[in-house]
């Protein structure tokens, strides 16, 4: 039978395993049983020693590594980490989870990108583990865990999940409700909708129930409660660490995690590799105003009321943020957040918002003097919810709005478009920006080549005239 702690390392059973197994003095000691299990369940990587965790510390790092790679490495193969999804690893994994939580809470703040990476990876591990368990065992396990997590699963109200709903882990629209109660089994569904379904054939009732509820909702609630508890766990460790001294092994694990994440970022981040226009590698760089398209320059110089708000809030905010943080958004078909590239929001505050503020001040009449509430709409378009400034903890509450196409600009903000010859080759201001930057780079390379040739010519002439004299 699969242990509850395989899904919920914070369960009572998980606490017991931790108490029995943890020995902070041997976190980095080679563990033969762990190596044997990892090798046995790792498909095709037995010969590659670097991929097998050899101690609890390495297993903790792998817990983050696999999730990071799944998000960022296009050649990622989940089978390299098969050992994580086999029950044989569960007791080791419980210890690795708790070690990692302590290392992260000690080294980073609880709203940091690393903390988010940890809680998101826990969410994903639960999903993947459940997917690999046979249906009967999976249902039994989910019920047991939910019974431990909730007082009474049979009379669960949406008000029992207010923490999850207010933090947008679960949306009311995900749930099927009747008089405030969440429907979680077919019998409840039949009773609640008796009048509506009384003439339906049996098959249809079951089919509709499974489509609307099934086990999906139980698993969603279970996963999100564990993620919420993991966030709370990080906070409680952080509070405790204010009064107690952390074990040196946890400190070392935190340092190793930082080092490991830096290496993973360098190796797999999509933002530091892959071609721009033409050959050569593309790198995130400071904004280059000389490569901005005419419509963007016009917006920054100042737009008049009429389409002023849309020009700044909808158009400029998305253009500037993507130009600086993810100019390849249309080329890489993958959703990311601002903090995937700007983890501490320094770039957002120091480089992106100042340009938006400049455009707002130049507008006639100035945007924020006239309508200060538009600041909230700008934050919302960056993906940080309806607040007056972007904060890490609010990310994801709204969507990071992608830049409009030229076609839409011409249609809705027609007076901004002053197409030049580069515009003929693109369909979006962001593509203009990348193309123009590449053109400027090539031009500059040509100029410096010319200067070098001229200088070389002069030197040769001087050498010849020196020889003559
Ligand atoms: S064609 Fe596109 S990029 Fe060029 S000015 Fe018009 S809207 Fe801007």
* Closest of 77, 106, 93, 74 to residue 18, by C-alpha: 93
The pLDDT value given to residue 389? 94
* Closest of 285, 450, 309, 301 to residue 374, by C-alpha: 309
Binding site membership of 406 for ligand 1 (Cβ less than 6 Å): yes
Residue 443 Cα to ligand 1 middle (Å): 22
Residue 406 Cα to ligand 1 middle (Å): 5
Rounded Cα–Cα distance for residues 97 and 61 (Å): 10
Indicate the domain borders of the chain.
4-151+217-269, 289-436
Q: What angle do CA 5, 11, 15 make, to 5 degrees?
A: 90
Residue 317 Cα to ligand 1 middle (Å): 16
Binding site membership of 264 for ligand 1 (Cβ less than 6 Å): no
Rounded Cα–Cα distance for residues 378 and 401 (Å): 10
Residue 293 Cα to ligand 1 middle (Å): 6
Q: State the DSSP code for 402.
A: P
Kindly tell me if the per-residue pLDDT of 46 is higher than 60: no
Angle between helices 216-241 and 90-107 (to 10 degrees): 50
The pLDDT of 48-55, averaged and rounded, is 81
Question: What ligand 1 atom has the least distance to the C-alpha of 427?
Answer: 2
The pLDDT value given to residue 282? 44
Which residue would you say has higher pLDDT here, 271 or 57?
57
Exposed / middle / buried, residue 74 (Cβ in 10 Å: 0-12, 13-18, 19+): exposed
Rounded Cα–Cα distance for residues 407 and 393 (Å): 35
Kindly tell me if the per-residue pLDDT of 275 is higher than 50: no
Rounded Cα–Cα distance for residues 89 and 86 (Å): 6
Q: How does the average pLDDT of the chain come out, rounded?
A: 88
Best residue among 408, 418, 420, 429 to mutate for probing ligand 1's pocket (most ligand atoms within 8 Å of CB) is 429
CA pseudo-torsion sign 259, 265, 268, 272: negative
With cut-offs at 50, 70 and 90, classify the pLDDT of residue 276.
very low
Rounded Cα–Cα distance for residues 53 and 31 (Å): 9
The torsion region of residue 417 among left (phi > 0), alpha (psi -120 to 50) and beta comes to beta
* pLDDT tens profile 176-194: 999 899 999 899 899 989 8
- Kindly report the protein residue whose alpha carbon is nearest to atom 3 of ligand 1: 429
- Could you write out the DSSP letters of every residue in 177-215? EETTEEP-SHHHHHHHTHHHHTTS-HHHHHHHHHHHTTT
* pLDDT tens profile 100-135: 999 999 998 887 778 888 999 999 999 999 999 999
Q: Find out whether 63 and 121 touch, Cβ atoms under 8 Å.
A: yes
Q: Whole-model pTM?
A: 0.65
Binding site membership of 418 for ligand 1 (Cβ less than 6 Å): yes
Q: What angle do CA 368, 372, 373 make, to 5 degrees?
A: 135
Kindly tell me if the per-residue pLDDT of 28 is higher than 90: yes
* pLDDT tens profile 86-96: 999 999 999 99
The pLDDT value given to residue 164? 93
Residue 62 Cα to ligand 1 middle (Å): 46
* Token representation of residue 54: 């050899």
Q: How far is CA 65 from CA 258, 263, 357, 378, 430, in A?
A: 12, 10, 38, 33, 32
Question: What ligand 1 atom has the least distance to the C-alpha of 429?
Answer: 3
The pLDDT of 1-5, averaged and rounded, is 80
Best residue among 303, 323, 406 to mutate for probing ligand 1's pocket (most ligand atoms within 8 Å of CB) is 406
- Kindly report the protein residue whose alpha carbon is nearest to atom 7 of ligand 1: 406
Answer whether CATH 1.10.287 is correct for domain 4-151+217-269. no
- Could you write out the DSSP letters of every residue in 230-278? HHHHHHHHHHHHTTSPPPHHHHHHHHHHHHHHHHHHHHH-GGG-SB-SS
Q: Decide: helix, strand or coil at residue 176.
A: coil
């Amino acid at each position: 039978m699969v242990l509850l702690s395989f899904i919920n390392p914070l369960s009572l059973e998980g606490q017991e395993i931790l108490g029995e197994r943890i020995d902070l003095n041997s976190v980095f000691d080679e563990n033969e049983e762990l190596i044997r299990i990892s090798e046995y369940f790792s498909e095709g990587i037995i010969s590659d020693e670097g991929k097998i965790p050899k101690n609890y510390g390495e297993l903790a790092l792998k817990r983050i590594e696999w999730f990071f790679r799944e998000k960022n490495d296009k050649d990622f193969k989940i089978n390299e980490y098969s050992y994580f999804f086999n029950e044989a690893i569960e007791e080791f994994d419980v210890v690795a989870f708790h070690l990692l939580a302590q290392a992260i809470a000690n080294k980073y703040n609880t709203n940091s990108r690393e903390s988010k990476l940890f809680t998101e990876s826990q969410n994903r591990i639960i999903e993947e583990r459940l997917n690999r368990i046979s249906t009967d065992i999976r249902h039994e396990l989910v019920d047991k865990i939910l019974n431990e997590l909730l007082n009474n699963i049979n009379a669960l109200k949406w008000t029992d999940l207010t923490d999850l709903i207010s933090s947008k882990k679960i949306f009311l629209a995900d749930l099927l409700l009747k008089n405030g109660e969440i429907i979680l089994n077919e019998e409840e569904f039949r009773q609640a909708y008796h009048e509506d379904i009384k003439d339906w054939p049996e098959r249809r009732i079951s089919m509709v129930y499974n489509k609307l509820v099934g086990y999906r909702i139980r698993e969603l609630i279970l996963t999100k409660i564990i993620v919420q508890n993991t966030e709370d766990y990080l906070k409680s460790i952080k509070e405790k660490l204010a009064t107690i001294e952390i074990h040196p092994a946890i400190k070392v694990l935190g340092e190793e995690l930082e080092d490991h994440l830096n290496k993973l970022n360098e190796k797999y981040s999509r933002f530091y590799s892959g071609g721009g226009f033409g050959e050569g590698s593309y790198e995130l760089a400071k904004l280059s105003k000389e490569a901005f398209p005419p419509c963007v320059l016009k917006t920054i110089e100042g737009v008049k009321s009429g389409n002023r708000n849309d020009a700044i809030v909808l158009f400029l905010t998305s253009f500037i943020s993507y130009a600086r943080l993810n100019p390849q958004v249309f080329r890489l078909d993958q959703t990311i957040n601002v903090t995937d590239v700007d983890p501490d929001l320094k770039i957002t505050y120091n480089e992106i918002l100042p340009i938006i503020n400049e455009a707002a001040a130049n507008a006639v009449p100035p945007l924020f003097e006239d309508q200060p509430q538009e600041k909230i709409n700008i934050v919302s378009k960056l993906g940080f919810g309806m607040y007056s400034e972007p904060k890490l903890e609010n990310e994801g509450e709204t969507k990071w709005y992608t830049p409009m196409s030229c076609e839409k600009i011409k249609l809705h903000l027609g007076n901004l478009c002053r197409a030049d010859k580069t515009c003929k080759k693109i369909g979006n201001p962001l593509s203009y920006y990348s193309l123009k930057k590449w053109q400027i780079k090539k031009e500059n390379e040509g100029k410096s080549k010319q200067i070098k040739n001229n200088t070389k010519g002069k030197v040769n002439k001087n050498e010849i005239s020196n020889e003559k004299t």
